[in-house]
Homo-oligomer: A and B are copies of this chain.
């Protein structure tokens, strides 16, 4: 029986800065793309009508993690988060449980961090302005990570003007209309994905789009005609084609494997990223367990003093 440290929400956010998260997530993508880290497909456990649980394993750098997390879209209406659960961290060498880590903080940070990695890698070299479409928890953390990486100023849009105003105020950015957000250099969409928020006419040459919101079949933040106008990237094809922004386009036969480049391949130089300043690029982030693993390494290396449990 071991004493297992428990890193809660506040501890994760205190010990891993946005800049550290960005570097860790970039490193995780490189290690996964180069075959050093491994990640089986995530498993879905449907619990209708509430939503589903996902079990997301990954291993690398001596750790093996399992993220156990909900996507319960109706939860905010009853005062609960969409994302709940925990991350179990074990030693890949001995199997011993090493830590329990808060799932909400890690998910928010690693989702924001990949938006920055994609923008740095796929955006125009002179990209600076940021449009945030959807200012909930993950939209806010994407904005914080982009600001930490010296993107901005930005325009925050949300159907709830208070959410947009609060985020804009925190970062010294502006709240604005959807059109104003979409006119920025780096557009980051984090909406529920029930209705497209990016239409074909919104695709300006040179813009980079991060699509973070659609996380399951039937969800999309961009209409199909908008995808036609972009060079397409994703975190992982297997997930993107089955439960991400591109899923509908793949099902409709409008997008195939050859049309989409994985971010890790761009980071390792195995594939081309942006080819010209007036390319419109679009990154489909579905969320990978290797991103969570990357942040768990940072949390465990922090040496933070936390409560333990016997398990």
Contacts and interface: CB of A to CB of B under 8 A. Distances in A.
Interface of A: 1, 6, 8-9, 38, 40-41, 43-47, 50-51, 53, 55, 57-59, 64, 66, 68, 70, 72, 75, 78, 80, 84-86, 88, 90, 92-97, 100, 102, 307, 309-311
Given A9-B1, A66-B55, A90-B84, A43 B45 contact: no
Contacts of A84: 90, 94-97
B55 A55 contact: yes
A185 to B, nearest CB: 36
Contacts of A90: 53, 68, 70, 84-85
Contacts of A310: 6, 8
A72 B46 contact: no
B68 A94 contact: no
Contacts of A58: 45
Copies of this chain present in the complex amount to 2
A86 B101 CA distance: 13
Contacts of A43: 40-41, 43, 55, 57
Given A40-B43, A43-B57, A86-B88, A309 B6 contact: yes
Contact of A46 (B38, B68, B93, B100): B38
Main secondary structure of the interface of A (DSSP, over half): strand
Nearest to A46: B38
A57 to B, nearest CB: 4
Nearest to A62: B47
Contacts of A85: 88, 90, 95, 97
A91 to B, nearest CB: 9
B53 A45 contact: no
Contact of A307 (B44, B57, B92, B309): B309
A53 B22 CA distance: 28
Contacts of A59: 45, 47, 53
A204 to B, nearest CB: 38
